[in-house]
Structure 1
């Protein structure tokens, strides 16, 4: 991965993990887990991004985006999620395929083309995995929903969105967990085992790992 691409992906990840908040600090280990890199790689990149004025680092607490870093992240996220909508809705790719291919298109996208793409798609507000698309003025108001891990046994819920992660999207396609479907949390298996959930329409039960459930947002 080229360094320029790597930097923008780090900035995008920080924005996503804060839900758009300018105050929320993101720990290095959370960034490392999301990007599947080592904590030392995160530390090295945070040093570079601090030198370029794109993040502020508070040792032992985490990082926040500066206004410069936030704008870079918003431009990337806007392009990426509009490409995802196009690939998913118009070319009938799966959510994971749309995400993977959008990664190859978003970094060099011209702003005029992205605005025209938005018009062509009838101004979508969310991507295929439920996350908010910044508008052309780069307004970004991500709503906050509970993680699947945060709800109590017996609770009924609707799937709202998933974190942008290729392996997670592939996993959810494999177990057939889709946006807007309605479920009930039946139980948590012992010894930090998976969560058992039941589809309220089909009554089909599946197991979701604790790790995956932490990146599934419900309402």
Structure 2
């Protein structure tokens, strides 16, 4: 399987494609690519039996696609945890390293890493880590962009994207913070949030708000 197909499987997994339909727009926003490219790759995943597509509704993973995605995500996120926890990598820098390491990691090695790290349940950007039997706590799939004004939520996780993580570092938004959604500006404008502990108001870009998940 090509690395590009694997990236699609992982992002559909991250966006909730094990339980619901994910739109082409969501995939395009998260991968920062043109919608036309998504349509083409979705067709290939369907042809390979890894995904199901319903016109005007979206795409979800088949049982085979889910198993493949869980294996990829497990290796990727365990390596991210190792790089941050043991080698002191900055969070925005771990994705590209983990992307390489996951492809050369045997099941024996990932099991040993998991044990060495104390069986972590979540990676540094908040995503659940499946164990070797495929068990994990389901992530929230409620995007900040879809949260109503006036709602107080907790930041649960971020999509694993280098540019996004750099942006969130710059605006000092962190996993676990409690924030209140103040307003959604029209025409794909920012979502303004207020950090509950400090009262600081932060405008979060339209694209970033679709890649931040809350509960």
Question: Structure 2 length normalisation: TM-score?
Answer: 0.88
Residue of structure 1 aligned with 2:131, choices 121, 131, 135 = 135
On the 8 A contact 1:15/1:70 being kept in 2, the answer is yes
* Structure 2: distance between partners of 1:33 and 1:20: 19
- The Cα of 1:192 is off from its aligned counterpart by 5.0
- CA contact 1:20–1:141 (8 Å) conserved in 2: no
Higher relative contact order, structure no. (Cα contacts within 8 Å, ≥ 6 residues apart): 2
**Larger CA deviation: 170-179 vs 52-61:** 52-61
Question: Does the 8 Å contact 1:19/1:143 carry over to 2?
Answer: no
The answer on whether the counterparts of 2:24 and 2:39 sit within 8 Å (CA) in structure 1 is: yes
Write the distance in 2 (CA, Å) between the matches of 1:119 and 1:57: 37
Gap regions ≥5 residues in structure 1 = none
Residue 17 of structure 1 pairs with residue 15 of structure 2:
yes
Note the C-alpha offset of 1:86.
0.6
Q: 1:25 to 1:200 in 2, by over 3 A?
A: closer
Q: Which moved more, 1:90-99 or 1:43-52?
A: 43-52
Which whole-Å deviations, capped at 9, do the CAs of 1:157-205 have from their partners, x for residues lacking one?
A: 3211112222211110111101112233344456653233233333333
Partner of 2:104: helix, strand, or coil? coil
Q: Quick check: 2:126–2:158 contact (8 Å CA) kept in 1?
A: yes
Whether the 8 Å contact between 1:156 and 1:182 is mirrored in structure 2 is yes
1:11–1:205: structure 2 CA closer, same or farther, 3 Å change rule? same
**1:50/1:177 CA distance change after superposition, 3 Å:** same
For structure 2, which runs of at least 5 residues remain unmatched after alignment?
none
* Counterparts of 2:171 and 2:147, CA distance in 1: 20
TM-score normalised to the size of structure 1?
0.86
Shift of 1:102: 1.0
Q: In terms of mean alpha carbon deviation, does 5-14 or 59-68 score higher?
A: 59-68
Cα 1:186–1:57 shift into 2, 3 Å: closer
After superposition, the CA RMSD in angstroms is 2.2
In the alignment, what sits opposite 1:67? Answer: 63
1:146 equivalenced with 2:179 (yes/no):
no
Q: Is the contact between residue 162 and residue 216 of structure 1 (CA under 8 Å) also seen in structure 2?
A: yes
Distance 1:29 1:114, change over 3 A: same
Deviation of 1:5 (Å): 0.9
